[in-house]
Amino acid sequence: MAELILLEEVERDPQTVLTVGTFDGVHAGHRAILDTVVEEARERSARSALVTFDPHPRNIINPGEGGIKLLTTIQERSEILNELGIDEMVVIPFDRDFSLLSSEEFVRDIIHEKIGVSRFVIGYDHQFGRNREGTIETIERLGKELGFEAYVVSRREIGEQTVSSTAIRKAISEEGDVEKAARFLQRPYRLNGTVVHGEKRGKEIGYPTANIKPEHPQKVIPRDGVYAVRLRVMEHWFKGMMNIGTRPTFHDQKRTLEVNLFDFDEDIYGIEVQVRFLNRIRDEVTFEGINELIQQLRKDEKRARELLSEH
């Protein structure tokens, strides 16, 4: 993973090429910025860094009902950044006091004095600092004063839609459209969690399942339904199908995430895993009995295997 460093542990390097933001999802729009950071850093033989925040700033400034859901946890973000070639992810603990910093104080005291910067890469519409008062012009002005350059990255679109974390959250949680999310993310949507004990009903009907408890309570969960997935167990990948929902055939109330792995028969309770969602197969429905459910599961498995063979 890209090295995850807390702000108080970072070593100042005035040659650093960096960008700043939450970057939840690390989607296609973010990629344009991060690819620029990596390229500029390599040209200068410099450190590349993303300066980000935890928890999500909106959950502190305007928590609302339950707060904003996350496309990527800090650990998931670190893993993705490593795949993109970013050297360090500097994490700033975000709290009320920090939210009161002006944009100028943030650039002077945090970016310039504590982290160091030679080139500050920024998105075309990025705003930051108290009341989002900081703009591209703020960075350009302070860059001239403090001795670093500003580099502005233009908007990224896919089709006729501007890529955004909000659009991806909607596609996943409201529509279950994991294919659209993957286009915007430029990779399948992923979820890290731990295998926990369930009701073991799946084993009784010939479709044993692993119940997944997401690692973060604010993680975006796809809309209820059945999905073709890949599951990483330690360093190995397996194909399977996942049901998300309340299992209405059994009159359950608790929402669960259950994955049936194909051609797999091992005890993985307590193991940390990663689910990658490839395709949505169908909605969750109520069946009149176990036999009807089993018949549908056979169809789901056939369809999931077909879809997974295409990836």
pLDDT at residue 90, as a whole number: 97
Q: Which residues contact 267 (CB under 8 A, 6 or more apart)?
A: none
Mean pLDDT of 15-40: 93
Q: Could you tell me the pLDDT band of residue 252, with boundaries at 50, 70 and 90?
A: low
Q: Which residues contact 28 (CB under 8 A, 6 or more apart)?
A: 156, 158, 163, 183, 184, 185, 186
CA 193 – CA 149 distance, rounded (Å): 40
Please say if the pLDDT value at position 181 is more than 80: yes
φ, ψ of residue 88 in degrees (nearest 5): -135, 145
Which of the two residues, 284 and 156, has the higher pLDDT score?
284
**Are 67 and 115 a contacting pair, CB within 8 Å?**
no
Query: Within 10 Å of residue 50's Cβ, how many Cβ atoms?
Result: 27
Mean pLDDT of 244-266: 83
The tokens of 190 are what? 């992923």
pLDDT tens-digit readout, 99-121:
888 999 999 999 999 999 999 99
Q: Could you tell me the pLDDT band of residue 170, with boundaries at 50, 70 and 90?
A: very high
Global model pTM greater than 0.95: no
pLDDT at residue 130, as a whole number: 74
